[in-house]
Structure formats: structure tokens, C-alpha cells
Amino acid sequence: MAELGRNESVKIKKGFWTPKRVARIAILIALSAVGAFIKIPSPTGTVALDAAAGFFTAVAFGPLDGGIVAGLGHLFTAATTGFPLGLPLHLYVALQMVVWALIFWFVATKVNLWVGVVVAILCNGAVSAALLIPIGGTGMFVAMVVPLLVGSAVNVIVAALAYKIVKKSNII
């Protein structure tokens, strides 16, 4: 019976949610939460430096980890401003952030990091703003596209530079 318990714990340790992975994701989520307080002026107040940790996580540790950090990062930013667009819309934006982190990971690892940077900036900036048109009309698109592009550029470039530095140091 004791043997069965030991084998089960070995299976758990080799699973997806290893203690090391949980700790790493938790630290990066905390970093994203700190970034949520560093705002870039926008009509909604929900453009911030929360996504840098998510984009870094995606390229450094994989798209699922990055998506978790990026999605929660947006929710932290929205929470610091009182969910100005309502919780359902912010959940929609958080889901977009998961997708943008996945796309960034894919392009950065399969094509080139800097091509991934450009694609992620355009997705998180212009495409995210365009996806708001059915909800807030073209006025919302016009109001949000520049702040989102600026915020995206800062977040993604910071993530790419951090990745280059950390990768060069052989930490990852």
C-alpha cells in the first residue's frame, strides 16, 4: 500500500503543474500585477505595463504559461480601474491577451523574435481595438487604437529585450 502512494506522488510530480512551474507562474503573475499599476493614458485607463510579463513568459516558457500570465495581467489592470467596461468585456479582452501571447510565442519561436514583436504589437494594438468595434463602435476604435499601439509596443519590446538578456545569461 505504501508503494502505491509513492508511485502516485511520482506521477503528480511529473505532471503539468509541477511546484517549479506553479512558483514561476506565480512570480510572473505578481510581476504582471505590479505592471498593472503603471498606466499608459487611455480613455478607459486599462492600458498598462501588465502584458510585458505575459509576453516574456510566452516566449521564455511557452504559450500556455504566457497566456495565463497575460490574461490575468489584463484582469489586474482592469481591477485597478474598477472594470470600466464591465467584467464580461474585460474577460473578453483577457481572452484576447491569451491569444496574442500564443501568437507572439509562435511567430517569435518559429520565424524570428523581432517579427514576433511586430505581429504582437499589431495584434494587441490594432486588432484588439478593431475587435471593440461591434461593442463600442468606431468611436471606441478611434479612441483606443493609439493608446493600445503605444502600450503594446512598450510591453512587447520590454518582453523581447528581457528575453534576449535572460536567454544570453543562460538562466532559461
pLDDT digits (tens, 9 = 90+) for 117-159: 999 999 999 999 999 999 999 999 999 999 999 999 999 999 9
Which amino acid appears at position 134 of this protein? Answer: P
pLDDT of 50-62, one tens digit each?
A: 999 999 999 999 9
Residue 114: closest CA among 160, 148, 149: 160
- Helix ranges (DSSP H) in 15-86: 19-35, 51-61, 63-80
Beta bridge partners of 48: 39
Q: What SS3 state is found at 141?
A: helix
Query: What long-range pairs does 15-23 form, CB within 8 A, spacing at least 24?
Result: 21/65
pLDDT of residue 167: 94
> Can you give the C-alpha Rg of the chain in angstroms?
18
Q: What SS3 state is found at 108?
A: helix
Q: How confident is the model at residue 11 (pLDDT cuts 50, 70, 90)?
A: low
- Cα–Cα distance list, 157 to 49, 82, 104, 164 (Å): 11, 27, 12, 11
pLDDT of residue 92: 97
Residue 14: is its pLDDT beyond 80?
Answer: no
H-run or E-run covering 166 = helix 133-168
Query: What is the rounded CA–CA span in Å between residue 73 and residue 33?
Result: 6
Residue with cell 493608446: 147
Q: How confident is the model at residue 1 (pLDDT cuts 50, 70, 90)?
A: very low
* 8 Å CB contact between 147 and 42: yes
Query: pTM of this prediction?
Result: 0.88
Q: What is the DSSP letter of 36?
A: T
Enumerate the domain spans of the chain: 2-168
For residue 120, the Cα-to-chain-centroid distance in whole angstroms is 11
pLDDT of residue 16: 83
CATH of domain 2-168: 1.10.1760.20
